[in-house]
Structure 1
Amino acid sequence: MQLPIKRGLEAIPGGMMLVPLVIGSLFHTFAPGTPATFGSFTGALFTGALPILAVFYVCMGATIELRALSTVVSRGGSLLLTKIVLGLLAGLLLGHFLGERPVAHGWFAGLSALAVVAALNDTNGGLYMALMGQFGTAQEAGAYAVMSLESGPFLTMVSLGAAGLAAFPWQTLVGAILPLALGIVLGSLDREMRSFLSRAAPSMIPFFAFAIGCTLDLRRVWEAGLLGLALGLAIVAVSGAALLVVDRICGGNGTAGLAAATTAANAAAVPALVAAAQPAYRDAAGPATILVAASVIVTSLATPVLTAWWARRRPVARER
């Protein structure tokens, strides 16, 4: 008997990441002693997010072809720069009022500079390219070759450090981007390595998502539910408006900018990686992961609707 497990997961926005994340959090909430009980490889799966992520970013880097950067740098580079600037501004503003710690009480409990910057910095590439395949041009779809450089914790660390919050040693910053850079080099030097590594990247998502979920207490999700919804809507509204304007300035019709106004499923892993590199963010990492995961869902649902609406109002000459 065959069950449509993969199709079921893919039918849920961000499901390949979010469902294992929830399963892991259920273990942490209701059976926290499970890793110690079984130990060995099973215990390692519950606690091994960082090693899995390191390999994941090597594989993802292999999909970025250096030769493609020159042809799409003006479009992808402008959208990437806009996302970076938005992250820096958010870090500066929230860092001024909150520092490294999250809000402790009230309706905004759990909100932090880490959560907002992580949600802003990383675009859902699969959704972006799918939307461009339907509503955009080949050049706009190819722009993600540049935008994918935002993947991982590096830009979030830079944004937080530039905002005057807890600094990261240069070795830590370099270490955060080395796996992605290694993948780029391997994929550029050998097409067979690119094909080999790129096929492995999607398979790792549910595993590091499960391990991250094993650090979350679901009792805090209820408290952050409405705030997570608000964060996702804010990401779509604020980053969508800025990206739309920049896209039109650079010659587009705004559709690509709106399609980039999302939070990638990978971004839910960033708070844990940042906290591992800088303990000052340890208190913020747990709530930030929950908020970013909520932003993944909200932006994945809202952005396609908004992009389709805008594309019907601003038709573009398709170049294939």
Structure 2
Amino acid sequence: METLLKQLGRIPGALMIVPLFLGAVVASVAPQALEIGSFTTALFKSGTAVLIGLFFVCVGSQIDLRAALPAVEKGIVLLLAKFGVAVAVGLSVAFFMADGTLWGMLPLAIIAAMSNSNGSLFVALTSQFGNSSDKGAISVLSINDGPFLTMIALGAAGLAAFPALALFAAIFPMILGFILGNTSPTAKAFLGPGEKLIIPFAAFAIGAGIKFDVLLTSGAIGILLGLMTVVLSGGAAVLCLWLWHVLRGHPRSTRNVIAGAAEASTAGNAIATPAALATIDPSILPFQEMATAQVATAVVCTAFTMPFVVAWLAGWQRRNGITPEAEEALYQDRSAKVQVAAVSS
């Protein structure tokens, strides 16, 4: 078993990807095994929301206050880049394609898949390849968790109002962890191990909600949507993050863009977006099933391809003298200078 675990550990993002794959296998081959009830079902099937919420508390506790501003700035840049691409592609298909679809790909599915990112996978990959400011960007990126941004993009059709309370509920665990970690070294040390401990359990539960037959029913279109998400939203996020570094005057060695590539995924909860919007606008009902299948395939596609892109980019950066460590040192040095100046004055 030890040898097997070491071999699996060589897979990029293995802590997330391997359990997610196993969960999908069990859900596809023997779904009844996860439905026996009690703690087994709660942990491996229905506990996704609880596990992710606890995971965000642990992650928030490890965000250093000194890296808070760069993390927020990164989060805003990535959020706008990903959402902007999703809206541009989705609405272009809706308005400029003859039948309002791209090879059968629905605008609803495009916006839902490309605007919503997998927060757990983002933090898992930035924990492995990035730095604290990369991980901390999730505090802003949590905004794209769920159907909120899709509702905004389709708001011209009168689908929904922006649910501010639900948004706050999504990011509160991260805020709570941030407060605990920065006000108590004991709390920070206590919650630290949970950052990695929870990842495989949350990943398995997410995978348990995905069946491989979805790949067959939605066909290659959903796979294409996943690849578009990785290439277009990931490419835009990387480019915008690099431009942010340039505009901020950061030295070349600190222009780390790992967080941009790590944002190029589709979250499992995006699968529920078409159904959520259909409850608001019944005219979406005829397209709900197809859009859901396309988004679900994109979730699987991005989960298995995007970590390899992040790993490749991390290697390319290091070969070119750009490291997350250099970026983090820059922020810490600037913070220290600000503190010294404050004391002197």
TM-score by length of 2: 0.71
Cα separation, 2, equivalents of 1:7 and 1:58:
28
Partner of 1:136: none
What CA distance in whole angstroms lies between the structure 1 residues aligned with 2:169 and 2:3? 39
Q: Kindly indicate whether the alpha-carbon contact (under 8 Å) linking 2:60 and 2:176 is maintained by their aligned counterparts in 1.
A: yes
Residue 288 of structure 1: aligned partner: 295
Larger Rg: 2
Which of 187, 193, 197 is the aligned partner of 1:193? 187
| The 10-residue stretch of structure 1 (18-27 or 144-153) with the greater mean CA deviation from structure 2 | 144-153
Q: Supply the distance in 2 between the matched residues of 1:106 and 1:190 (Cα, whole angstroms).
A: 54
Q: Are the counterparts in 2 of residues 115 and 271 from structure 1 also a CA contact under 8 Å?
A: yes
Partner of 1:298: 305
Residues 301 and 115 of structure 1, relative CA distance in 2, 3 Å threshold? same
In 2, distance between residues paired with 1:306 and 1:276? 35
The one-letter code of the counterpart of 1:144 is D
Give the superposed CA RMSD.
Answer: 3.9
Q: Deviation string for 1:57-104 (max 9, x for gaps)?
A: 1111111233442xxx2x4444322212113313433553569xxx98
| Number of the residue aligned with 1:14 | 13
Contact 2:256/2:317 (8 A) holds in 1: no
C-alpha distance in structure 2 between counterparts of 1:121 and 1:55, whole Å: 13
Paired letter, 2:152: A
Gaps (5+ residues) in structure 2? 330-345
Q: 1:273 and 1:144, CA in 2 relative to 1: closer, same or farther beyond 3 A?
A: farther
* Pair 1:108–1:276, CA change in 2 (3 A): closer
Q: How many residues align?
A: 303
1:193: how far off? 0.7
Cα distance in 1 for partners of 2:190, 2:322 equals 38
> 5+ unaligned residues in a row in structure 1: which ranges?
133-140
Q: Is the alpha carbon distance of 1:90 and 1:35 closer, same or farther for their aligned partners in structure 2, counting shifts above 3 Å? A: same
Match of 2:78 among 80, 83, 90: 83
Q: Which of 135, 140, 147 is equivalent to 2:137?
A: 147
What SS does the corresponding residue of 1:33 show, helix, strand or coil? helix
Alpha-carbon distance in structure 2 between the residues aligned to 1:182 and 1:209: 22
Contact 1:128 1:259 in 2 (8 A): yes
Q: Share of identical aligned residues, percent?
A: 22
Aligned to 1:56: 55
1:137 aligns with: none
Relative distance call for 1:318 and 1:30 in structure 2 (3 A) is closer
**Which residue of the partner structure matches residue 87 of structure 2?**
92
Task: Name 2:27's counterpart in structure 1.
Answer: 28
Cα deviation per residue 1:197-254 (whole Å; 9 max; x = unaligned)? 1211211111121112222120223534454334323334332222222222212328
What amino acid does structure 1 have at the position aligned with 2:27? H
* SS class of match (2:192): helix
Deviations 1:259-317 (A, max 9, x none): 22223599634426868987759855664354244334433323443454466557799
Cα distance in 1 between the residues matched to 2:94 and 2:177: 36
1:212 equivalenced with 2:212 (yes/no)? no
| Residues 265, 78 of structure 1: alpha-carbon distance in 2 compared, 3 angstrom cutoff | closer
Distance in 2 (CA, whole Å) between partners of 1:67 and 1:10 is 31
Q: What does residue 37 of structure 2 align with?
A: 39
Alignment CA distance shift 1:315-1:7 (3 Å)? closer
- Pair 303,19 (structure 1): closer, same or farther in 2 beyond 3 Å: closer
SS in 1 for 2:249: coil
